Amino acid sequence: MDNRTPIATLFERAEDYGKTTLKLIELNAIDKSADVISSLVSRLAVIMTVVLSILIINIGLALWIGNLLGEIYYGFFIIGGFYAFIAILLNVFRDQLIKYPVSNSIIKQMLKPKTV
């Protein structure tokens, strides 16, 4: 026969419920974090491949432009100037072009319901 009072049993169940709820919150946080990190890593791999391709294309383009202008280094100056211009534009519009889309993507990923 169980000698515990109904209040003690109630407190014990409430404690178990609290522990289970805390563990569930922890596991959900781990799941969401892993989902966001894996998504970012896979996107980073694609971005790195694209960047490497663009780098090689830019070297070829700089050599071609330099050859057309008579001096190879002219092509590199033109390509460098183009990227300096792009960097200035990105700096001016960084919130609209980079910050908000990235933060919105992370928030959507965190709030997305889990599909099995």
- Does the residue 116 lie in any domain? no
- Does the residue 57 lie in any domain? yes
What is the pLDDT tens value at each position of the chain, 116 positions in all? 567 788 888 888 999 999 999 999 999 889 888 888 888 899 899 999 999 999 999 999 999 999 999 999 999 999 999 999 999 999 999 888 888 888 888 888 777 777 66
Give the residue numbers spanning the domain of 51.
6-111
- Does the residue 1 lie in any domain? no
DSSP 112: S
Count the domains in the chain: 1
Report how far apart, in Å, the C-alpha atoms of 103 and of each of 34, 50, 115 are.
17, 22, 22
Q: Is the pTM of this model over 0.85?
A: no
Report how far apart, in Å, the C-alpha atoms of 31 and of each of 99, 103, 106, 112 are.
24, 19, 14, 11
